[in-house]
Amino acid sequence: MAAFPDFPPYVTWNNSLGQPDKLTGFGYDFLLEACDVCDLDCEIVIDKWSNCWTATDLPGTGLQAGYYHGCATYTNQYQRQWSLEFSDGILQKNKPAGILSRLVNGVPTIPPTSDLSGFKICDVAGWAPTIKTLYYSENDCTDHSLFKDFIIVTPPDEGPDPAMTMLLNGECDGVYMYSDLIEKRQVCNGCAWDPALYSQLGTEYAWVHTGVVEHMANGTTLTMSKKGSGVPALVNPCIQKAGCDTRISIHTSIHTPHPEGSGCDTPISRSRMPRPAMPFARFAVAACPAAARVSGDPVGGVRRHVREARHTVRMLQE
């Protein structure tokens, strides 16, 4: 199973001074647990993101050529379902998207009430949410109208850094991206991204939309594989055994008020949560006797899920 290590809190490096790098993260831990409870011989291979999913929104060479059986902790998106199949989710619909707008004199270039017509929107090449999903996403500031007629700008390289660079250089008006990326990339401990790009919230850019969920068919999954691979049928029972249908619901937000006169004084709606003054993470874990029975420990299975949830919360808060 392939994993991309610069994707906290799911798979990331634990860089301890004087120690070899180690993999960590909720997705990594859950994968090992799922393999363990089903007695599967699982090998985790580190590879680049584009070998699983490319900047042209197609399956990567690694999946197509069978370098490995699947890729771990990818979001189940409707567009990806044309080419790939997914295991059950290990989290609820936990990866909402958002639109990050460049600020000019403290005012967003893109008004929250805009349908995006004529605005240049940077794609995060090779990453979900794929840019095509923006066409069937809703603007809650205008009674759920659809976004339309925006100009797609595709950076030359994959990942969030090139898109953020283009935004700051004025080459696009906004970025369509996961709405937790800014907060999660402000701190770097041996990471592969440039944290300076993500430290200018409220000065150079601001969120005009968060909580956009139309791109997701399901939450973060354990495996993404070729159609007909049989991997989901193999691992889904293991997911149930490892988690007993436990779903950890993680909601992140940060206080970024809309400017006066923006036209959208209540930007958080639908399933969204009011924005607090500071970043936060909230989790709910369902206790599961079946998970404990599988682990052979009366309470060990539940304890593990609580421990992993707390681990995820700490990483989101860092």
**Full DSSP string of 77-120:** ETGGGGTEEE--BSBSS---EEEEEEEETTEESS-TT---TT-E
Mean pLDDT of 145-157: 95
Asked whether the predicted pLDDT for residue 11 surpasses 50, the reply is yes
Is residue 318 pLDDT above 90, yes or no? Answer: no
For residue range 77-129, list pLDDT tens digits in order.
888 898 999 999 888 777 899 999 999 999 999 999 999 999 999 999 988 89
Instruction: Please say whether the beta carbons of 283 and 312 come within 8 A.
Output: yes
pLDDT(229) > 80: yes
Residues of the chain with CATH 3.40.190.10: 2-93+217-245, 97-212
Q: pLDDT category, 252, cuts 50, 70, 90?
A: very low
Q: In the CATH scheme, what is the homologous superfamily, with its name and number, of domain 97-212? A: Periplasmic binding protein-like II (3.40.190.10)
CA separation for the pair 69, 65 (Å, rounded):
10
The amino acid at 147? F
- Average pLDDT rounded to a whole number, residues 212-225: 90
Burial 179-197 (b: 16+ CB within 10 A, else e): bbbbbbbbeeeeeebeeeb
User: Strand 75-77 relative to strand 216-220: parallel, antiparallel, unpaired?
Assistant: antiparallel
Amino acid found at 160: P
Looking at the chain, which runs of residues are DSSP E strands? 2-3, 6-7, 11-14, 22-24, 45-46, 71-72, 75-77, 84-86, 97-104, 107-108, 120-123, 138-139, 145-146, 151-153, 174-178, 205-212, 216-220, 223-226, 251-253, 280-282
Name the pLDDT band for 17 (thresholds 50, 70, 90): confident
User: Taking 50 as the threshold, does the pLDDT of residue 299 lie above it?
Assistant: no
Percent of the chain with pLDDT over 90: 50
Dihedral sign, Cα of residue 51, residue 188, residue 90, residue 134: negative
Phi, psi of 46 (to 5 degrees): -85, 130
Cα distance between residue 230 and residue 218, in whole Å: 19
Instruction: Tell me if residue 50 falls in helix, strand or coil.
Output: helix
Q: CATH 3.40.190.10: does it fit domain 2-93+217-245?
A: yes
3-state SS class at 133: helix
Given a cut of 50, whether residue 18 has pLDDT beyond it is: yes
pLDDT at 244: 57
Q: Report which of residues 1 and 248 the model is more confident about.
A: 1
In this predicted structure, which of 123-132, 245-254, 271-280, 304-313 has the lowest mean pLDDT?
A: 271-280
Higher pLDDT, 273 or 176: 176
> Given a cut of 90, is residue 55 above it in pLDDT?
no
Strand partners, 45: 2
Q: Are 13 and 188 in contact (CB under 8 A)?
A: no
Q: What confidence category does residue 311 fall into, taking pLDDT thresholds of 50, 70 and 90?
A: very low
Quote the crossing angle between the two packed helices 231-243 and 26-37, to the nearest 10°: 100
Instruction: Check whether 305 has a pLDDT greater than 80.
Output: no
